[in-house]
Amino acid sequence: MLSTDYDTATTKKKEEDINHDEKEQEQSISHRQRKNINQEHEKEQEQSISHRQRKKLKRMMYNKEQKLSKKLKEKESERTLKELRKKETNEMLSNMTERERFDWRKQAFDKKQEKQKQTKTKKQAMDRKLGVAKHNIVLDLDFDDVMTMTEKHSMIKQIRICYATNKKAEVPCRLHFTNLRGYLGRELYEKVEGFENWKGVIKHQNALFTTRGDENDDEDFFTKRKKDLVYLTADSENEIETLNENDIYIIGGFIDRNRHKLKTLNKANENGIRHARFPIQNSQMLGSCVLTVNQVFEIIVTQLEVNDWEQSIAKTVPQRKKADQSNKEEAIEEEEGEEKEKKPLVVSLD
């Protein structure tokens, strides 16, 4: 009887192991299939872009690997340093008297409590600032179809930078994210820890001009205030002079490598909303300089603080971009000078 029970239990265990192995195999196959599909999708997207852009993407991937390697080395170095400090502290405490150890621990505890108090005070001040924010800035995340996977991941980083910038800003904004049902939205919810609790962020599940539900639904917010919408695009002929509290400024949430000329301008015109650009044509930086999403947002929050476009742009745009632009200007001037020298000398005989 015992032998039969043992045989039955053994058989059942083997069947469970086989089922478990089959499930693992199915999962690994499905994972490989998903990976292959993603790789094929990326290849298709890469084929649709120019040879120059493919080289640029390869360089970006190489830089990304180098950064990751550097980050891992830094983490390992920090871990080693932390262990060393712990060892030194333990040695120091072992050489102290009981009273000295008590005083040292009390001092360390008080220091930690003070730091926690400062952090809490800072957080409360930030919450108050975000609570009274007046300007509405929208990140339009309805551009999944024009970005490669690499660009989508880069876009998620830029969104995180925008949020961090808004928290630190002297004059923060009310941030709106649209189309969170799309790829970027899913990645933010799944991969970014604490995204659900981001302060000062209003999350819209639908695309910018999609309406669902009844007229009181928050998704109709943009439809109700369509006259206040202003799409920020470098292709616009209209310049912003001041940032109006009643206007809602929209930033196109995609990586612009000059492949999608007029994309945001056409979207604004198709939906019958206003559009404008920053007054950067008269600054040291020309309008042809492509700004990232987080740079556009940083210019806005800086402008709200200092109320000076030149200063806002100077604080936000990296010096290398200005240098690149000035180099382009010098090259154009040199070409024009060479052309003038090549022109034959014409002598009037009159």
Query: In terms of C-beta density within 10 A (0-12 exposed, 13-18 middle, 19 or more buried), how is residue 68 classed?
Result: exposed
Q: pLDDT tens across 37-82, in order?
A: 556 656 665 556 777 877 888 888 888 888 888 888 888 999 999 9
Say which residues have a Cβ less than 8 Å from residue 274's Cβ, sequence separation at least 6: 229, 230, 231, 238, 268
Question: Is pLDDT of 326 > 90?
Answer: no
Percent of the chain predicted with pLDDT > 70: 70
pLDDT at 256: 76
pLDDT at 25: 55
| 315, two tokens | 């604080």
160 pLDDT tier (thresholds 50, 70, 90): very high
Percent of the chain predicted with pLDDT > 90: 33
Question: Is pLDDT of 338 > 60?
Answer: no
Q: Rounded to two decimals, what is the model's pTM?
A: 0.63
pLDDT at 45: 59
CA distance 238 to 219: 28
**134-327 placed in CATH 3.40.1280.30:** yes
Q: CA dihedral defined by 110, 116, 118, 123, rounded to 10 degrees?
A: -170
Question: Is pLDDT of 237 > 50?
Answer: yes
pLDDT at 238: 92
Average pLDDT of the segment spanning 96-119: 90
138, 248 Cβ separation under 8 angstroms: yes
Average pLDDT of the segment spanning 288-294: 78
pLDDT at 330: 46
CA distance 43 to 40: 5
Largest CA distance in the chain: 130
Q: Where are the domains positioned within the chain?
A: 74-132, 134-327
